[in-house]
Structure 1
Amino acid sequence: MPHYVIDIRSDTVSVPTAEMRQAMFEAVVGDDVYGEDPTILALEEKAAKLFEKEAGLFVPSGTMGNLLACMVHCHRRGTEAIVGDLSHVYLYEQGGAAHIAGIQLATLPNKADGTFCLEALRRKVRLEDDHEPITSLVVVENTHNICGGKVIPLEWLDKLAALVNGDKQLQPYGQRIALHMDGARVFNAAAALGVPVARIARDFDSVNFCLSKGLSAPVGSVLVGSKAFIRQARRLRKALGGGMRQAGVLAAAGIVALDTIVPRLREDHQRTRRIAEAIHNAKSANVTVDLATVQTNILLIHLPNPKFGANAFAQRCGEVTAEELAAGVHAAHKEQGIQLKVSSRDWEFARIVLYHQISDADVDLVIKKFNYIIRDVDARLAQ
């Protein structure tokens, strides 16, 4: 009998709902390069209204959306964007801003809450010096992935905007520094704060959000901003190979995602917290969580003992032993073990991410498996 697999490596493994699949089947389509796909136009308009921006652009991936934002805001040669040192755009997008767009990325240390020091940002901005690149953009990630799904505080966002927009000394060559938000999971931030996404994005020139993570659509992201910004992004999208034709079949799922999945994101947060509380209550010194900082659908599980690190934990989660089956750690059938897929790299933590398809019953099984592993590991390491 095959074991019961629960994949919580990332919300990118979410799959389209039945309603999405039906909408994709019935989608009215046209050639989007000509601007004639009505379903894509509807998605772009819907996204722009949600964020209270002038226009939107459907793109194949969040990586492309972020790159397009960098390219438009940093259109002059010799420009620089300031980003967090743990940001996705810096760590996990192949340095595309540099090797495709010729943009230098300068980093500031991310704090545990996903922010960075605004005074350090002020000092980081290049002024009018012929020896230096021109600071043209600041990028903020919200929610912050590697910081554990942290929601960037609204107060900090307001202070950032006031600094960039209000300090005339921070306008190299008379040009205001633009603000871009990598909002791959910004709807999770809005759900956690209980505010519209437009409030979070209010002072940002552009925002990129993902449809294919926790929103469960199969493909795509949407970039929003002013009409002039989106016009330039649309042109550059073609150069990057992102000009799609009858892609309304993909956009249709995105519309359903915004209508039906966004209102349910808090359920993912609640289930994530249930798992966090179970690990916390196990009171292990070897497998821990920082319960006070669990905010959305991402949970970092800390593995401080070098004898049982993140990769060992991930491997053990995917194994099923006769002993655990005998101890009742199984799914519906006593011979059907529980296999968990969790994310680990060369980190001091493993990561799990919940999404629409992870049910309350799945969470019960995750907790059962984690509790067994924690007891087993604690006993072995105590010897």
Structure 2
Amino acid sequence: MIDLRSDTVTLPTSAMREAISRAELGDDVYGEDPTVEDLEQHVARLLGKEAGLLVPSGTMGNLCAMLAHCARGSRVIVGNESHIFCSEAGGASVLGGLVLHSIRNTADGGLDAGELADALESPDDAHVAPAGLVALENTHNRCGGTVLDAAYVGRVAREAHARGVPLHIDGARLFNAQVALGVSARSLVEDADSVQICFSKGLSAPVGSMLLGTKAFIHQARRARKMLGGGMRQAGILAAACRLAIDEMVARLADDHARARRLAEGIAAAGAPGFHVIPPATNIVLVRAERADGSIARVVSRLRDEGVHVNRVNDVRLRAVLHRGIGDEDVERAASAFQRVLRGS
């Protein structure tokens, strides 16, 4: 089976497994795991932030950020296609008493400028929940792995900061953005107050994400992590793999991007009426149907019968994600399967 559902299906490298077996361990809840401490300090330096906090998942990292930044009853301004809004089980509302204020995502994964300006307004009116946070996503999953550059992030940060509102970046695939733009990840989050990154997607670590920001912010986030049940003990076992992920696996993301382009070209070669392939910006290929007539569900099912796993995003979109487990031959086989299925739809 060629598994293109997500880059989360990547398996750790043999070097990661070896590092796990040799990791120096302690109790991280007591602040005594040297491997975790080393990772947090290393990634904080890498991204230009004061401190970091290892968490089990990107969802928990984003939720810890929202809980640390926002008072109950305030609004978190997010895109209507964002992972926070669509795929994190409403945790900000259920557990934080926060209002997820969704505004339109533009095709490039940014936020509609007019809607953002309106959403940032917090009049002195008892009827209106105050704006507490703006969250961007880079790269943007449901928009097709699209990339936000530093200039755009800076503009949003200035607009939010002018109204006293902090900016958080869901950077689960931030290093894909770094590779695509040919810039440092640090430059892409320089103007953000906090950022969350994942080690367990294209970077291939088995588990782990990190939240970064100021020391004061991370102190609050650490309390939130404990409250959410994310205080892990001998977490150096995970941190050892995450350290190799961040040090050794970033450059190879370019291979995933190149294979995504080849897959998209192969799918487009089907010339299937009613379907459109969105040229990938990074490692995510989106295929859109012109009508919500069940054709996407049928394509996903038929691809599975052909030995190719993809994700149905909604009634008009499916997603294929390239990762370290997919080689050139897999891309050719997957493209051929897409052509057979789309031509028969």
TM-score normalised according to structure 1 size = 0.87
Equivalent residue in structure 2 for 1:318, among 285, 293, 304:
304
Cα offset for 1:307?
5.6
What are the Cα deviations for residues 43-71 of structure 1, in whole angstroms up to 9, with x where unaligned? Answer: 11111011100000000111110000000
Give the structure 2 partner of residue 194 of structure 1.
Answer: 182
Counterparts of 1:244 and 1:161, CA distance in 2: 32
Counterparts of 2:46 and 2:247, CA distance in 1: 11
1:309–1:349 CA contact under 8 A, matched in 2: no
The number of residues matched between the two structures is: 344
Write the mapping of 1:1-383 to structure 2, written as runs, cut at 5 A: 5-74=1-70, 76-125=71-120, 126-165=122-161, 167=162, 170=163, 176-291=164-279, 294-304=280-290, 309-320=295-306, 339-377=307-345
What are the Cα deviations for residues 281-307 of structure 1, in whole angstroms up to 9, with x where unaligned? Answer: 33221333023xx20011101233556
What one-letter code is carried by the residue in structure 1 that aligns with 2:96?
A
What one-letter code is carried by the residue in structure 2 that aligns with 1:196?
S
Classify the secondary structure of the residue corresponding to 1:136: strand
Going from structure 1 to structure 2, the CA distance change for 1:345 and 1:83 (only over 3 Å counts) comes to: closer
Counterparts of 1:161 and 1:67, CA distance in 2: 20
2:107–2:143 CA contact under 8 A, matched in 1: yes
What are the Cα deviations for residues 76-124 of structure 1, in whole angstroms up to 9, with x where unaligned? Answer: 2321111111111011111111110111111111111111122321221
1:65–1:223 CA contact under 8 A, matched in 2: yes
1:310–1:345 CA contact under 8 A, matched in 2: no
Give the structure 2 partner of residue 332 of structure 1.
Answer: none
Classify the secondary structure of the residue corresponding to 2:178: helix
Q: Which has the larger radius of gyration?
A: 1
Q: Any gaps of 5 or more consecutive residues in structure 2?
A: none
Going from structure 1 to structure 2, the CA distance change for 1:117 and 1:91 (only over 3 Å counts) comes to: same
What one-letter code is carried by the residue in structure 2 that aligns with 1:299?
V
1:57–1:234 CA contact under 8 A, matched in 2: yes
What one-letter code is carried by the residue in structure 2 that aligns with 1:22?
E
What one-letter code is carried by the residue in structure 2 that aligns with 1:68?
C
Cα offset for 1:255?
0.6
TM-score normalised according to structure 2 size = 0.96
Residue identity over aligned pairs, in percent, reads 46
Classify the secondary structure of the residue corresponding to 2:250: helix
Cα offset for 1:154?
2.9
What are the Cα deviations for residues 151-193 of structure 1, in whole angstroms up to 9, with x where unaligned? Answer: 123332121122223x3xx2xxxxx201000111111111111
4+ residue runs of structure 1 moved beyond 6 angstroms?
none
2:153–2:192 CA contact under 8 A, matched in 1: no
Alignment root-mean-square deviation, CA: 1.4
Counterparts of 1:346 and 1:159, CA distance in 2: 31
Counterparts of 1:107 and 1:374, CA distance in 2: 33
What one-letter code is carried by the residue in structure 2 that aligns with 1:152?
L
Going from structure 1 to structure 2, the CA distance change for 1:189 and 1:270 (only over 3 Å counts) comes to: same
Cα offset for 1:345?
4.5
Going from structure 1 to structure 2, the CA distance change for 1:133 and 1:308 (only over 3 Å counts) comes to: closer
1:8–1:340 CA contact under 8 A, matched in 2: yes
What are the Cα deviations for residues 351-373 of structure 1, in whole angstroms up to 9, with x where unaligned? Answer: 10011111112112112222222
Which sits farther off after the overlay, 301-310 or 353-362? Answer: 301-310
Cα offset for 1:376?
3.4
Classify the secondary structure of the residue corresponding to 1:207: strand
Counterparts of 1:107 and 1:375, CA distance in 2: 37
2:136–2:170 CA contact under 8 A, matched in 1: yes
